[in-house]
C-alpha cells in the first residue's frame, strides 16, 4: 500500500513440489517472459514458511 508501483501476489501451496511444478508450467514461464518488456525491474519470488504456534 505504500508503493502503488508494486504488485504482490500472495499464494499458499501444499508443498514445495507443487509450487515448483506450477512455476514450470508454460502459462507461467511465458507470462513472466512477456512481462519483462513492461516491468521496471525483474520479477522477484520470495518464499516464506508458515509458522504455527
Inter-residue contact 38 to 32 (CB < 8 Å): no
Quote the pLDDT of residue 34: 92
The residues spanned by each domain of the chain are 12-47
Inter-residue contact 14 to 5 (CB < 8 Å): no
pLDDT in tens, 5-27: 888 888 999 999 999 999 999 99
Has this prediction a pTM greater than 0.75? no
Average pLDDT of the chain is 89
pLDDT of residue 53 exceeding 90, the answer is no
Amino acid at each position: 500500500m505504500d508503493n502503488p508501483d508494486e504488485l504482490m501476489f500472495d499464494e499458499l501451496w501444499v508443498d514445495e513440489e507443487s509450487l515448483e511444478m506450477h512455476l514450470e508450467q508454460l502459462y507461467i514461464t511465458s507470462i513472466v517472459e512477456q512481462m519483462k518488456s513492461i516491468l521496471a525491474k525483474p520479477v522477484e519470488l520470495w518464499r516464506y514458511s508458515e509458522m504455527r504456534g
